[in-house]
Amino acid sequence: MSGFVFSEKPIEIESGEGAYLYGQDGTEYLDFGASYAVASLGHNHPAVTEAVQEQAEKLTYVQASYPVDVRTELYEKLGTLAPGDISNVWLCNSGTEANEAAMKFARSATGRSKIIATKRGFHGRTMGALAMTWKDKYKEPFEPLAGDVEFVSYGDGEELAEAVDEETAAVFLEPVQGEGGIHPAATEYLETAREATEEAGAALVFDEIQTGLGRTGTLWACEAAGVEPDILTSAKGIANGLPMGATLVADWIAEDPGNHGSTFSGGPVVCAAANATLETIVDEDVPGHAAAVGEYLKSEIETATEEHDLPVREVRGQGLMLGIQVKRGANRILKNLAISEGVLALPAGRSVVRLLPPLVVTEDHADEFVDAFAEVLR
């Protein structure tokens, strides 16, 4: 018997430490994918490990109707750290669940059904979130999906504003598209989205599943633009490897969220991991570190491209969320990086090498990646 959903890679991982993973044969791998930005503080971070062990000795789970100190602490932390006034928190187990909740909350609060999403956008693989995801390859085997979703071009403020009307429940945007190829939104585009939704009485939802918690150089990517949403979704690195998602909403959304829930909402062990992760991110200014190292990494890739005439078209992104647009197939490059150089990264489509390393990587790690990348492309 074996798993049948994932295409397993020929690398069996046994352990991890910081920015590195180790195979059962002892091979060391520099991890510049962090399992799609999940290992935000790196592997086996001592603060997270200690928090999980302490909580597991006291209580592993009790459902969210019963207050538990670590869950209450996490509600307060997320509410305090949220951009603007979106301090109402619902906890779940993944990013797609967080987006499903956001979709339901927005429809319930507005009494409307129309959802506007973007071309190239990715919001998850469950039936509601999948309906807001652009690529047909993810959707076609499972149709029909949830209805009344309209797609507009990402970055086109005029098209977005025209699409938002009195029937719109919500606009879903990634401040930086991840799966779509690492495309940051211009500040003016996010401002237009804010103005259009406010005028129509619709909810503005920022999907910060991948961009949030310091990844782009600020705690939340939307903070760099100074635009506050009505709903923000988070997951990936929120508990440094344990499964958690969060949907943060404004008061007017929380007043009428509809009937929603989850058996495993805010499990104590996962909450303990999330509290330790958030404390470390804030106390050690991890977003500032990500901004500095990300700028260095981007510059070094561009320098190597010029010096060695590498087949790279563009390097784009923010902080430690970078995409390298290559002239040849990204998947082949990634395979050669892993097998011949011991470096792990991710694709974002057929021509983009996606970098989502742990936010604690250093300039030395950046140099190690650039050397390996240049070697493979040469």
pLDDT, block means (10 residues), the chain with 378 residues: 75 96 96 97 98 98 95 98 95 98 98 98 96 95 94 98 98 97 98 98 98 98 97 98 98 94 95 98 98 98 96 97 93 95 96 98 98 96
Binding-site positions for pyridoxal 5'-phosphate read 95-96, 122, 207-210, 263
DSSP state string for 131-188 = HT---HHHHGGG-S----EEEE-TT-HHHHHHH--TTEEEEEE-SEETTTT-EEPPHH
What is the pTM for the complete model shown? 0.96
pLDDT for the residue 2: 63
Residues 92/101, Cβ–Cβ less than 8 Å:
yes
Maximum Cα–Cα distance across the chain: 60
CB-based contacts of 77, cutoff 8 Å, min separation 6: 275, 278, 279
What letter does residue 80 receive in the DSSP assignment? H
How far apart, in whole angstroms, are the C-alpha atoms of residue 288 and residue 286? Answer: 5
pLDDT for the residue 1: 52
CB-based contacts of 137, cutoff 8 Å, min separation 6: none
pLDDT for the residue 181: 95
CB-based contacts of 283, cutoff 8 Å, min separation 6: none
How far apart, in whole angstroms, are the C-alpha atoms of residue 127 and residue 252? Answer: 26
Element at 344 (helix H, strand E): strand 343-344
Binding-site positions read 95-96, 122, 125, 207-210, 262-263
How far apart, in whole angstroms, are the C-alpha atoms of residue 301 and residue 313? Answer: 11
Helix residue spans in the chain (DSSP H)? 34-37, 46-56, 69-81, 95-110, 127-131, 136-139, 157-163, 187-200, 221-225, 251-254, 268-283, 286-308, 330-336, 363-377
Strands 28-31, 343-344: pairing kind: parallel
Strands 168-173, 149-152: pairing kind: unpaired
Element at 116 (helix H, strand E): strand 114-118
Helix axes 268-283, 286-308, angle to 10 degrees: 70
How far apart, in whole angstroms, are the C-alpha atoms of residue 77 and residue 213? Answer: 12
pLDDT for the residue 177: 97
Measured CA angle at 222 (ends 317, 210), to 5 deg: 55
Binding-site positions for substrate read 125, 262
How far apart, in whole angstroms, are the C-alpha atoms of residue 318 and residue 242? Answer: 25
pLDDT for the residue 378: 87
pLDDT for the residue 10: 83
Residues 275/81, Cβ–Cβ less than 8 Å:
no
